[in-house]
């Protein structure tokens, strides 16, 4: 059946919209806060969740909106800096994941990205700097905002 409302879609208009995508990042120190932040998102929220934990046993059931993909990053299964025999340091796996995700998913065009970062001070600081300084997100779009002293 021909639908005239679909005739306007072209390769340049299809799949482009102004919805917000979310990036949520946390670690084993912030699972309760992370769960609360996910519960506050709209049911139709879309985006990615990265949770870094030390061991496989740190993975717990986590409820997220259906269009959010949750990825658990287990440090015990990851190496540290390339070319060394070091273990993955706290925050390193999450920062790598965010860098890779932002390189692929943050594109020019309609829509916006909001980031929610929870966890240790070093994780929050590194991911925030990565998103603002390297990926070009506005500081206002990365939560939590820096505290004024």
pLDDT in tens, 23-77: 999 999 999 999 999 999 999 999 999 999 999 999 999 999 999 999 999 998 8
Residue entry with tokens 């829509």: 111
127: left (phi over 0), alpha (psi -120 to 50) or beta: alpha
Contact 113, 141 (CB under 8 A): yes
Higher local confidence (pLDDT), 144 or 133:
133
C-alpha closest to that of 116 among 26, 39, 18: 26
- Residue 144's pLDDT band (cuts 50, 70, 90): confident
Asked whether the beta carbons of 93 and 52 are under 8 A apart, the reply is yes
Which helix (H) or strand (E) segment holds residue 116: the answer is strand 112-117
Top-confidence residue, 115 or 2? 115
pLDDT of residue 13: 46
Domains of the chain and CATH, by start: 19-142 (3.40.50.80)
Quick: pLDDT tens for 69-108.
999 999 988 877 777 767 888 999 999 999 999 998 886 6
């Amino acid at each position: 059946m021909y639908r005239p409302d679909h005739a306007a879609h072209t390769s340049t208009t299809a799949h482009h919209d102004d919805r917000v995508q979310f990036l949520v990042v946390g670690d084993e120190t912030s699972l309760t806060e992370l769960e609360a932040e996910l519960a506050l998102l709209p049911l139709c929220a879309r985006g990615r969740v990265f949770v870094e934990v030390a061991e496989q046993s740190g993975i717990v059931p986590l409820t997220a909106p259906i269009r959010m993909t949750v990825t658990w990053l287990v440090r015990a299964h990851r190496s540290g800096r390339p070319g060394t025999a070091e273990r993955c340091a706290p925050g390193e796996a999450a920062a790598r994941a965010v860098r890779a995700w932002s390189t692929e998913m943050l594109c020019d065009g309609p829509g916006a990205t909001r980031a929610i970062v929870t966890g240790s001070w070093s994780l929050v600081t590194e991911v925030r700097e990565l998103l603002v300084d390297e990926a070009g997100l506005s500081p206002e779009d990365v939560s939590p905002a820096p505290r004024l002293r």
